[in-house]
Structure 1
Amino acid sequence: MTLDRRTLLAAGLGAGLTAVGGAVAWAVLRQPADSDDLAVEDILNDPDQPVLGNPQGDVTVVEFFDYQCPYCKRGHPDLMAEVEADGNLRLLMKDWPIFGDASVLAAQLVLGGVADGTYLAAQSALMATPARLSEDDVRAVLTGAGLDPAAMLDAYRQNRQTWDGLMGRNSRQAAALGLQGTPAFIIGRSLYAGALDRDRLRRAIAEARGTA
């Protein structure tokens, strides 16, 4: 099963966008099987993407985000609280650094933290900051969290092909989905363009489970 912006529009889904709690939602399962622009499974199951929450969870939540996006940061505590409270959510935080060099550096350093198990701590520290960051701010925040930005950058460079490949795929996926900015979520098999508060997040998860 595949999806792309063109087939969304051709299927009438683009023209029939519905507001779900302030976010725009597309159903993504009803796509023709003859388009190979973007496979849903490529988004949900990229082998290089770090997985948070429950790796065996019954619902996958994907967020395309940037470390300088104020709406991403504002909603992050609710997202993480729901992942912990639910216990059965598989969370993919897809780096899409669209706000400049500091965003790229932040993504590189956090992905570098996968090697030594500091990925979540690094991500949490940066998501708790004010929206705009300089490259020096990124390093200072990570240092303040007890992490070593130089070691994280070295780890990123040692695995640069993997991480650059992952971020490149994330960017192509965002373009194919027609995303205009961050945040954007895929919950189950529906796409929500825009911020989701916790109530709307819960409703989207319930809909993905077929219990709403």
Structure 2
Amino acid sequence: MLKKMILPGLLAVTLAAPVAAFDIGAMSDEERAEFGAQVRTYLLENPQVIMEAVNALEEQRAAAQAEADLSLVSDNADALFNDGFSWVGGNPDGDITVVEFMDYRCGFCKRAVNEVETLLKNDGNIRFIVKEFPILGEESVLASRFAMATKDVAGDEAYKSIHDALMAYGGPVDIASLRRVAEPFDLDLDAIEARMGSEEISEKIRANRALAQRLQIGGTPTFVMGDQLVRGFVEYDQMQMLVDDLRG
């Protein structure tokens, strides 16, 4: 009778579900031993069942994470999309908003620059927000302070120029190197440097970090695309597919 119980469907459910499909505890020692032997034999003969069960479990977890992310984005929508200090580019009236949490020393953030620019150029109806999220050490913090101070002193266009230049820069970050990066843009570098250490800049960085913590973001780049959280580097084609899905 026990052998008849070892059916593929039953085994898959047993592997994937947190609750046993039947009461193994009610078996005798001999029955449990026979059951274990039959399971082992079946899996050796049908190893694909294990992958089917693992895939089913991963799909369940991904669905649960996506549902949780929807709530996280909804609960933090104002801080994400209308904080009043983050740089806004692309089409300010776009029907989809994309937010990127980035760090100037993050290699994958640097790789993502061209992907994002391609998306903004080819789509034309996306509002894009940059969240300064320096998490890779003091050089990252220094670069973010410089970029944010540039925005405060010289405005959005100057910020965009410095942001792009810092994304393209690959050397060590200190005040001297930051000034060299900014030299081509005819900015008041003394005023920017003086602004870097202000409490206002510190508060903006703290606000972004607190927001990231609430959203359970621990790495860069992380994107918020509409109401979805996308953790990690994403190529242009994937971004466009996500945007198209959001539009329905």
TM-score interval (norm. to shorter) = 0.7 to 0.9
Match of 2:70 in 1: 29
User: How do residues 54-203 of structure 1 correspond to structure 2 at under 5 angstroms?
Assistant: 54-114=91-151, 115-117=153-155, 118-130=158-170, 133-135=172-174, 136-144=176-184, 146-157=186-197, 160-203=198-241
Q: Per-residue deviation at 1:207?
A: 1.9
Whole-angstrom CA distance in 1 between matches of 2:164 and 2:190: 18
Unpaired stretches in structure 1, ≥5 consecutive residues: 1-13, 19-24
What is the rounded CA distance, in whole Å, between the counterparts of 1:145 and 1:74 in structure 2? 23
Higher helix proportion, which one? 2
Backbone CA RMSD of aligned residues: 2.5
Distance in 1 between residues matched to 2:186 and 2:114, nearest whole Å: 20
Is 2:247 the partner of 1:206?
no
Whole-Å separation in 2 of the counterparts to 1:184 and 1:208: 18
SS in 1 for 2:87: coil
Q: Is the 8 A contact 1:26 1:192 kept in 2?
A: no
After superposition, the C-alpha distances for 1:144-202 in whole angstroms (9 at most, x for unaligned) are 55545433223445xx3433222111101111222221110000000001000111111
Matched positions, count: 184
2:87 partner letter: P
Q: Which has the higher strand share?
A: 1
Alpha-carbon distance in structure 1 between the residues aligned to 2:177 and 2:111: 18
Tell me the CA shift for residue 111 of structure 1: 1.2
Percentage of pairs with the same residue: 31
Is structure 2 residue 62 aligned with structure 1 residue 17? yes
Q: Take 2:106 and 2:214, find their aligned partners in 1: how far apart are those partners? A: 21
Question: Any runs of at least 4 consecutive aligned residues in structure 1 with deviations exceeding 6 A, and if so which?
Answer: none
Contact 1:125 1:145 in 2 (8 A): no
* 1:102–1:138 Cα contact (<8 Å) kept: no
Q: Gapped runs of 5+ residues in structure 2?
A: 1-58
Correspondences of 1:30-45 after superposition (within 5 Å): 30=71, 38-45=75-82
**CA–CA separation in structure 2 for the residues paired with 1:205 and 1:165:** 32
TM-score by length of 2: 0.66
Greater relative CO, 1 or 2 (CA 8 Å, sep 6+): 1
CA contact (8 A) 1:48 1:162 kept: no
TM-score of the superposed pair, with normalisation by structure 1: 0.76
